[in-house]
Structure 1
Amino acid sequence: MNNLLQPFQLLLVAATTVELQPLLQHFGATENPSLPGMPGLEFTTPQCRVVVCITGAGILHTAYHVSNALQLQHFTLAVAAGIAGSFTPKLQIGSIVEVCRQQMADLGAENHRHFIPIEQMPFYNPNLFPYRNGCLYNPNPGNLLFKEQLPCVTGITVNTVSGRKSTIQLRRKLYEPDVESMEGAAFFYTCLMQQVSFAEIRAISNFAEPRNPLRWNIPLAINNLCRFLTRFIEQLPAQP
């Protein structure tokens, strides 16, 4: 019997290197052209091998690169990480959250008066696996590997980030979201279809409000995100 402990295999997914830059520098990540992503990066700790997949922003890039990564090798856990906008004052800028439910918020049709979500269209089955009532759920939220308990929130995924009052009001009414991103639902869908354990971790960089970059704090969000991820990675166990 082989009693040697195997390294924990972690897939860390982000839209941009900027969102993970402090972490990549801390662990001395190196580029590996054979790994998936734009670029593909990796680093190791005594207990863990981390493959960092930079997908590019948006749903299409995320779905392709995450699917590619999951087909190349087995991962113990996949974690999507990045910044997000908050729809609620309960989540202040700099807060770290775990997104436990995801939904596409701009997929559907329009009539002469308003937007029709895809879930309300007659040909769509909102309970076709892996959906439940049109939503994607993490079946194991609050992963025990996260020693720090994070708020479990509802996310929406969009092609166009909310920046107009009318758009924000509509999305609040239809989906009651806590946060929004441009990649989360694609990550959820891919991991659920590939039957891989996963988690989505976001740091709040701004509020969902009429677009005003002067009120954003992206550096704070990135630093807080990378501090959390660093603590998480450093305490991961080796695998029997």
Structure 2
Amino acid sequence: MRILVVCAVSEEAEAIEAGRSLRHELDVLVSGVGPAAAAAATARALAENGTMGRAYDVVVNAGICGAFKGRAEVGDVLIGTDSVAAELGVALPRRFQPIDEIGFGTNRIGCNTVLTVAMEGVRGEILTLASITGSAALAENLAGRHPEAVGEAMEGFGVATAAQQAGLPFAEIRAVSNYVGDRDVAKWDWSGALKSLTGAIREL
């Protein structure tokens, strides 16, 4: 099986490479940060490799993330059941209206859990945002809107969209470096999260 693993930055790519196994042919793509960069880079890679006769079988988005307090801990591996674009819709005065409700598409793409069935971790929705949540109040609001969400990141839905349009199964795997809403970077555990990411990729 040939797998395209998409991550945002080079540090994540190094952690993924360290977890590479011989079971699958695995290519690592550094897309840049955010859903637009992730979607564009993934779509281009899928198209270019398809025309060269080296098509991928699976697309995975992997990297570090924030977790919602009480749902996962720093250092945990998060395994997506759905990738959810949390900002895609209408911000009404009293609530957020997802795009599904107004008939212009969906803000949710299901993850193929068969790909991650042997992986140990916390399973749930992983939210994609173009702007990371920067306060405890915003984190509480976001958690309330998405009771099944375990974490937030910035690329998943973009990668999932490119995979879906190419007709390929998609999975999202994240390792927790911090809690959603905590902007004290000094308390974040980047190195621990990257080690967890390496371990998760070994189980893919």
TM-score calculated relative to the size of structure 1: 0.73
Would you say the 8 A contact 1:142–1:149 is kept in 2? Answer: no
Matched, 1:21 2:14: yes
1:222 to 185, 194, 202: 194
| Secondary structure in structure 1 of the residue aligned to 2:115 | coil
CA change 1:197–1:215 in 2 (3 A) is same
Equivalent residue, structure 2, for 1:56: 32
Structure 2 CA distance for aligned equivalents of residues 19 and 95 of structure 1? 15
Higher relative contact order (CA 8 A, sep 6+): 2
Would you say the 8 A contact 2:6–2:31 is kept in 1? Answer: yes
CA change 1:23–1:119 in 2 (3 A) is closer
Deviations 1:162-183 (A, max 9, x none): 1113321221222222110001
Task: Name the structure where helix makes up a greater proportion of residues.
Answer: 2
2:80 to 99, 121, 144: 99
- Report how far residue 67 of structure 1 moved: 0.7
Gapped runs of 5+ residues in structure 1?
1-7, 28-44, 234-240
**How is 1:1-240 mapped onto 2 (pairs within 5 angstroms)?**
8-24=1-17, 48-72=24-48, 73=50, 74-111=55-92, 113-114=93-94, 116-119=96-99, 122=102, 124-125=103-104, 128=105, 131=106, 134-138=107-111, 140-143=112-115, 147-176=118-147, 177-229=149-201, 231-232=202-203
CA change 1:151–1:116 in 2 (3 A) is closer
Deviations 1:42-66 (A, max 9, x none): xxx7554322111000011001010
Deviations 1:167-226 (A, max 9, x none): 212212222221100011111122112111221110011011342112210110001101
- Report how far residue 120 of structure 1 moved: 7.0
- Report how far residue 121 of structure 1 moved: 5.9
- What fraction of aligned residue pairs are identical, expressed as a percent? 20
Q: Which amino acid aligns with 1:156?
A: L
Structure 1 CA distance for aligned equivalents of residues 195 and 182 of structure 2? 25
Would you say the 8 A contact 1:162–1:208 is kept in 2? Answer: yes
Gapped runs of 5+ residues in structure 2?
none
Deviations 1:116-154 (A, max 9, x none): 3343764x34xx4xx4xx42212x31426x533433211
Q: Which amino acid aligns with 2:64?
A: I
Task: Please list every run of at least 4 consecutive aligned residues from structure 1 whose deviation after the TM superposition is greater than 6 angstroms.
Answer: none
Equivalent residue, structure 2, for 1:39: none
Larger Rg: 1
Q: Which amino acid aligns with 1:95?
A: D
Q: CA RMSD in A?
A: 2.4
CA change 1:172–1:22 in 2 (3 A) is closer
| Number of aligned positions between the proteins | 198
Structure 2 CA distance for aligned equivalents of residues 219 and 172 of structure 1? 26
